Structure formats: structure tokens, C-alpha cells
Amino acid sequence: MKKYFIYTVSVLWIIWANPSSARHQQINPPNAMDSLSSNQKIRSKNFKNTIPITGIIVPATALAYGFVKLNNSALTKLDEKARQEFYAQHPHRKFTIDDYLQFAPGAAVFTLNAMGIKGKNSLTDQGGVYLVSNIILNTTCQSLKRITAVTRPNGAPNSFPSGHAAEAFASAEFLRQEYNEISPWYTVSGYSAAVLVGYLRMYNNKHWLSDVISGAGLGILSTQTSYWLYPKIKNLFSDRSKNNTIILPSYNHGAMGAGMVKKF
């Protein structure tokens, strides 16, 4: 079950994330100097949003899978079988690295900026996109947890969908959007981290397989929605004459607040 899970996720990611590059391009490891020079050709002053409609098919299907499972005995049995394979038959020590790894791809975007390797959009716009994505993600995820009230494999409440998987895949999609044109290896690393987070949620007996699959879909869709929504919010809240400060509302685990992204 474990190897089939990882294999299936990998195949779906290759088909969805890089359909053309997987067939026609040779993937080379990222080089900092090459990235800097090539980046100047693809970066403009205006916010870039390049999400085709076909790009939402796989994540939307993944999210829908979880809803179908709620009233489907066959998929429920698959969840039970996966739990047996990942944990019940082989109890083991749990890890907490997934608590931090879920944020790694998103943090990588800002780290690369600090290193001088610029992404598709400016640092200000990247911060705005990431903030809006997390507002969408946390609002939707926490609402679904309360509405569905699915019990976790370990008996705890609020299992569906997996918030860790959602955050990890949202961050991975964020990294892909900003740096895939520079090198597909950034995408590979981001999604590898996200898949590992999903694996660990089941390995640690915290979530069902369907929770992880739906969380992944929700995370990707949250970032894609943010890339569509952020420019509209930016026009409403930013000073067009200076265009260097953005103030946006935030929501996280029931707490309301505000976030500011300022370009110096």
C-alpha cells in the first residue's frame, strides 16, 4: 500500500505539473547563476498569473474524493486498509517533523529571494499571494472539519481534511508557480516535501488516506485561487501611486487579524 500510494501521487503530479516538460525537456539541477540570468527574461513588473483551467482538474478531483468517501463504504474500507498498512499492523514511534516540513516549500520561496534568486513575481506580490492562500486554506479547512466531524484514526476529532497536507501542498504549489520556469527541480523538491508530509500524517496515525488526498487538493486549489484573487484584492487595498504596501485580513484557527506586506 505504501509504495502504491507514493507511486500514484508521483505519476499524477508528473502528468499535472509538467505535462510538456516531462516529454520534451531534459531536467537539469538548478544553478544559481543560470537562474539569475534566465529569470530576468521571464520576470516583469506586473503580477503574473498563469493558471490554465486544466490545471485545476487533478486537485479538484482529489478534494472531491474526500467528499465521496464520506458516504461510500468501499472507499471507507480502503481507508481502513491503508491504516492497517501504515500503522495498525506495525505500531512504531511517531515523528513530528511534518509539523515543520509542511511550511518548507513556502519558506523556500522567501529564502530563494533572500539569496538573490528572484521568482516569477516580486517579493511583495509573493507575500500577498501566500497570505491570501493561507486565509483561504485555513478558513475552508477549519470549516470542513467542524461540518463533517470525521473521527481521526487515533480517535481524536476533526479529521477531514488534513490541515498539514493542505498546507504542505499549498506551499508546494506556491513554490511551483514562482520557480518552475527557472528550474523544474524546485517543483520536484517542493512536491516531494508535500508528499512526505502526507505520508507522515498516515504513518503517525493522525489521518486517513482520504483526508490526505483531499487536503492535498484543497491546498493546491487554495494557492491557485489566491493567484486569481490576489490581483483583485491588490487593486482594492493598495495605493496605486506608490504600490508598495498591502494590508490584508487574515484568519487562522478561528482567530481574525491582519497582515501587511511592504516593499522597501
Main-chain phi, psi angles of 251, to 5 degrees: -145, 130
Would you state the pLDDT for residue 106?
Answer: 97
> Which burial class, exposed, middle or buried, applies to 110 when counting CB atoms under 10 A from its CB (0-12, 13-18, 19+)?
middle
At 48 the pLDDT is 77
CA 199 to chain centre: 15
Structure confidence at residue 54 (pLDDT): 79
**What kind and span of H or E run contains 245?**
strand 245-252
Please name each of the domains of the chain with its CATH number: 2-19+51-262 (1.20.144)
| Residues 6 or more apart in contact with residue 114 via CB below 8 angstroms | none
* Alpha-carbon span 62 to 255, nearest angstrom: 28
Grid cell locating 84 = 492497517
Distances 142 to 131, 148, 166 between C-alpha atoms, Å: 16, 10, 11
C-alpha–C-alpha distance, residues 126 and 52, integer Å: 19
What is the per-residue pLDDT for 47?
81
CA distance 70 to 159: 12
Q: Output phi, psi for 261, to 5 deg.
A: -120, 120
The pLDDT score that the predictor gives to residue 257 is 59
Residue 149: closest CA among 232, 211, 220, 230? 211
Written as tens digits, the pLDDT of the chain (264 aa) is 555 444 444 434 443 444 444 333 444 445 544 544 444 444 434 787 767 777 899 999 999 999 999 999 999 999 999 999 988 777 788 889 999 999 999 999 999 999 999 999 999 999 999 999 999 999 999 999 999 999 999 999 999 999 999 999 999 999 999 999 999 999 999 999 999 999 999 999 999 999 999 999 999 999 999 999 999 988 887 655 455 555 555 555 555 455 666 655
> Which residue has cell 539569475?
36
Q: Which pLDDT score is estimated for 7?
A: 44
Q: Output the pTM of the full model.
A: 0.76
Cα dihedral sign, 216-221-222-224: positive
